[in-house]
Amino acid sequence: MEKFDVLIIGGGPIGIACAIEAQKKNLKYTIIEKGCIVNSLYNYPEGMSFFSTSEKLEIDGIPFISKNAKPLKAEALEYYRRIVTSRDLRMQLFEKVTEVKRLNPGFEVHTSKGAYLADNIVVAIGFYDLPNLLNVPGEELPKVAHYYNNPHFYARQEVAVVGASNSAVDAALEIYRKGGNVTMIVRGDDIGERVKYWVRPDIINRIAEGSIKAHYNTNITEILEDRIKLRGPEGDFELPNDYVLALTGYQPNFAFLENLGVELSKDALRKPIYNEATMESNQPGVYLAGVVCGGMKTNEWFIENSRVHAGMIAESIALRK
């Protein structure tokens, strides 16, 4: 088995940043990524624009040139792919980590394609793989999706969009504009305050004029083939329905962290415990980077404010060599 100073799990922007910093410190590294380069970004909706400006998405000061003030998904994919190829970063793609064994010292990492030895591990897995489920009867039906890509599919369909965050609002507006009949199901009493400031007035106005229907303080209680059952302030009711987009957010892979022995906070946020100066967890040699550090508070860490994790981690590992 090949041995590395550091094995980075996750090939998103922060995983890439960690590889660049390891490269600078002359550390032997590799990235293990279960999908394509920046796999999570690849699975974002086709027309998505970022909240951040392009310079805040940059890695290692490499300029990110965008045609728009808020870069599009396609531009971000091109940017990060070019970094990987131009820096000749070592990355194992479409290879999933299946098991991590603690050795003394180091780790033995098994994947879907092989096995590796590593003195240190960086967990930069993000949070986009595990959706927050509705946990209602019928959620397993084919008509239910927790990810959204393109509005064309939903034209002339009765579509329930569950949620009131950026992803839910973007989907509702795009589907409405492609001819879908959209109803938003919102657990709270308003559209989320963190919705992109240039989009929030649009959705509020579409709801006010009746182009998009919205039911606040309402939850789905059951999903059926041709309708959904709901419970709101005035009691139980039903709506005709062809598709349900449950865009209720996502969460980190806590089971993976716990299998590594990473301690999580005892409250509902389940934040992993780590040294804020080095990003090393309570498990020696296991480092955390990016959004995974926030636990259930997935809006705490972004590309723009967690890029610094990469340098902190590389410095800590280099000092031990």
State how far the Cα of 76 lies from the Cα of 78, in Å rounded to an integer.
5
Q: Is the pLDDT of residue 51 over 90?
A: no
Residue 208: pLDDT band (50, 70, 90) is very high
Topology, domain 133-246: FAD/NAD(P)-binding domain (3.50.50)
Is the pLDDT at 162 greater than 90? The verdict is: yes
List pLDDT tens digits, range 244-272.
999 998 989 999 999 999 999 999 999 99
Of 23-37, 228-242, 290-304, the range with the lowest mean pLDDT is 290-304
The CATH class given to the 2-130+250-320 domain equals alpha beta
| pLDDT computed for residue 104 by the predictor | 86
> Distance (Å, rounded) from C-alpha 292 to C-alpha 304?
14
Q: What is residue 194's DSSP assignment? A: T
Mean pLDDT of the chain: 95
Domain boundaries defined on the chain = 2-130+250-320, 133-246
Q: Is the sign of the CA dihedral 175, 300, 119, 24 positive or negative?
A: positive
pLDDT tens string 275-288: 999 999 999 999 99
Is it true that 2-130+250-320 and 133-246 share their CATH fold?
A: yes
**Rounded CA separation 1/123 (Å):** 20
